[in-house]
Amino acid sequence: MEMVLSGADAAPAAAFALEHVSKRYGSVVALDDISLSMAKGSTTALIGSSGSGKSTVLRLLLGLDWPDQGVIKAEGRALERPHVLALRQRVGYVIQEGGLFPHLTALGNLALQPRYLGWSAARIHERAEALAELTHLPPGVLERYPAELSGGQRQRVALMRGLMLNPDALLLDEPLGALDPIVRHELQDQLKLIFDQLGKTVIVVTHDLAEAAWFAERLILLREGKVMQDGRIDDLRDRPADPFVRRFVASQRRLPEPAA
Ligand code: ADP
Ligand code: MG
């Protein structure tokens, strides 16, 4: 028997898409006619030097800022201002240093959004405990204020906050940028496991190529608001699309070779 697929079945809507998106801040061109699309359940790393437009991409996908030109799509639908509140409940956002409110305990921070949505205290507790287990946060830490947490614990709480509502997608903006190397390495391992385990659409911003390659098969290298290369680490390393890609890859510091 012949199977008939409708167009919609044959091509499921991407979780996110940017179509010919440009964004300026005064005379600065943050994004210059960018088109990208991220499949549902995929993990993508956005890399590039400081100022290349990485954070701007995330902010536009979250409706925290709006393009001057082009269209942002979430699940195939063009993003408009009235959708933004609903979108923020389906997309978790984690930023460097965590962005936790200092006057609230860890649990108080986790509870903000769910309480606004009418969750009971019991349900909030249950979800927080489950996420503490997932992120390896020791018991008791939820009662502390952000200033009483280590950098790694703060980042774990920020990740938990991003996951509280069990969103379909998680956008992380240099989530490990402020951590010392050992804690960073440990959290890289745990985050990767969490991404694989949860199967959500993930976009992670970093300026560290090794970290990007650890998290994601697909790396998108930005420069001055343009996509320089979109591919796997082997593509960037062995088939650089531009001299800048070669320089970016070569600039990653390696340990010196042992003396002969
Ligand atoms: P990245 O995250 O890659 O470091 P951003 O996306 O934050 O880069 O910024 C891209 C460019 O846009 C930078 O030159 C930055 O200074 C500028 N920019 C970003 N946000 C603002 C803003 N709110 N006001 C003015 N300039 C901004
Ligand atoms: Mg940034």
**For residue 50, how far is its CA from the centre of ligand 1 (angstroms)?**
9
**For residue 41, how far is its CA from the centre of ligand 2 (angstroms)?**
23
Determine, yes or no, domain membership for 69.
yes
Q: How many distinct structural domains can be found in the chain?
A: 1
Determine, yes or no, domain membership for 66.
yes
- Among 21, 22, 23, 55, the mutation site with the greatest number of ligand 1 atoms within 8 A of its Cβ is 55
**For ion ligand 2, residues whose CB falls within 5 Å:** 55
Average pLDDT, the chain: 92
Q: Which domain holds residue 205?
A: 14-90+169-176+201-250
**For residue 52, how far is its CA from the centre of ligand 1 (angstroms)?**
8
- CATH classification of the domain holding 21: 3.40.50.300
Determine, yes or no, domain membership for 231.
yes
Ligand nearest to the CA of 50: 1
Q: HSE on the CB side for 98, CA within 13 Å?
A: 23
- Torsion sign, CA atoms 218, 221, 226, 227: negative
Q: What is the per-residue pLDDT for 10?
A: 58
Nearest-atom index, ligand 1, CA of 31: 10
Helix (H, G, I), strand (E, B) or coil at 128: helix
Q: What is the per-residue pLDDT for 1?
A: 46
Ligand nearest to the CA of 59: 1
Determine, yes or no, domain membership for 234.
yes
CA angle (9, 13, 16) in 5-degree steps: 170
Q: What is the per-residue pLDDT for 77?
A: 93
- Among 27, 28, 32, 65, the mutation site with the greatest number of ligand 1 atoms within 8 A of its Cβ is 28
**For residue 55, how far is its CA from the centre of ligand 2 (angstroms)?**
4
Q: What are phi and psi of 235, to 5 degrees?
A: -65, -50
Question: One digit per residue, pLDDT tens: the chain, 260 residues?
Answer: 444 444 445 567 899 999 999 999 999 999 999 999 999 999 999 999 999 999 999 999 999 999 999 999 999 999 999 999 999 999 999 998 778 999 999 999 999 999 999 999 999 999 999 999 999 999 899 999 999 999 999 999 999 999 999 999 999 999 988 788 898 999 999 999 999 999 999 999 998 999 999 999 999 999 999 999 999 999 999 999 999 999 999 998 777 888 87
Ligand 1 neighbours, Cβ below 6 Å, are: 25, 28, 30, 48, 50-56
**For residue 173, how far is its CA from the centre of ligand 2 (angstroms)?**
7
Determine, yes or no, domain membership for 43.
yes
- Please report where in the chains the tokens 């061109």 appear, as a residue: 29
Q: What is the per-residue pLDDT for 162?
A: 94
Determine, yes or no, domain membership for 209.
yes
Determine, yes or no, domain membership for 223.
yes
pLDDT tens-digit series, residues 157-178 = 999 999 999 999 999 999 988 7
pTM for the model: 0.92
Sequence-separated contacts (24+) of 85-88 with Cβ below 8 Å: 87/62, 87/63, 88/62, 88/63
Determine, yes or no, domain membership for 192.
no
